[in-house]
Amino acid sequence: MKALVIPDVHLKPYMFKEAAEWMRKGVADRAVCLMDIPDDWNREYDIELYAQTFDAAISFAKEFPDTLWCYGNHDLCYLWNERESGYSRAAAYTVRNKLEELKEALPAGNQIRYIQRIDDVLFCHGGILQAFVEENVKNTDSVDQTIAEINTMGPEQLWCSASPIWYRPQYHQETMYEEDSLLQVVGHTPVEKIYRSTNVISCDVFSTYRDGHPIGTQKYPVIDTVEKILWKEVRIAIIVGATLSVINGLRIFAQYKNLQLACTVGLSITVTVILSKSIGCLLPLLAKKLKLDPAIMAAPLITTIVDILSVLVYFNIATVIMGI
């Protein structure tokens, strides 16, 4: 799945219009907004601009109802009555009402959250620290359970510099949550261009200096979440396939003293394992893409396809190596 990311907004209604144009062109399957919709330099009394920006967000939500929304610190400061740079007492009533309108515009089950997940990609405003999870989350049996618990937290846990709302991985070198297996896409900290460091993609490229000049490239990243999953599965398959290949190759050579046969079987095992992992990963994703029940890609279908391909792989490799 390809996800178009709308970074920190900060009273720029045109961002939703531009994002809508990209979505209509089919550049992504769905969108994710990292919010921080209100507040910008010297705009605290421009109530009309606050309303226009939220109205643009609401229109976008109605046109693309499967868009995921992640609270930012500037959104939450109005809901939690916390003071933040740029906080507008004059616009507070408008912001709270418009946030409620945005919530009501979303379909059932699609709530604004602190953290959203698509496949093995996590989207949040600041970034999720491993230390924050270890210190604050009780149920860490799975990624989904961890995210679900964080999404129930309030200002007591989240209004701090180490939380997923506030953390700035661009300035620190602390270990991020599940660095080896999950990708994180964050905003919050203005950057000149979209870039990746460890497992974090930073994309707040629309924020401006006090004089209104843009800090970054003002581009919308498109994140391929399937590519991340497939590469992880292929890496696992290569390790497993290579291990089985070496073990069985040595066993066959020791038993039959036939190097060609050992190489044929070993290489066939490696290719078959990689194929099976890739097919098992891609078929359910394909079903989801076609708006079908992923359950139709159950084990019998996958096993049948893999069995057929395994036979073809073995005989083709045997033909090349053994000349039969």
Instruction: Single out the residue in 202, 220, 238 at which a domain terminates.
Output: 220
Q: How far apart are CA 197 and CA 187, in angstroms?
A: 13
Three-point CA angle 65, 290, 145, nearest 5°: 60
Which positions of the chain have pLDDT values less than 70? 226-232, 285, 288-299
- Does one domain contain both 187 and 253? no
Q: What is the pLDDT of residue 29?
A: 94
Instruction: Single out the residue in 220, 242, 267 at which a domain terminates.
Output: 220
Query: Could you write out the DSSP letters of every residue in 143-205?
Result: HHHHHHHHTT--HHHHSSTTSTTT--TTT--PPBTTTTT-EEEEEEEE-SS-EEETTEEEEE-
Q: What is the pLDDT of residue 304?
A: 84
- Does one domain contain both 165 and 307? no
Q: What is the pLDDT of residue 111?
A: 95
- Does one domain contain both 244 and 199? no
Q: Is the full-model pTM beyond 0.75?
A: yes
Q: What is the pLDDT of residue 303?
A: 81
Number of domains making up the chain: 2
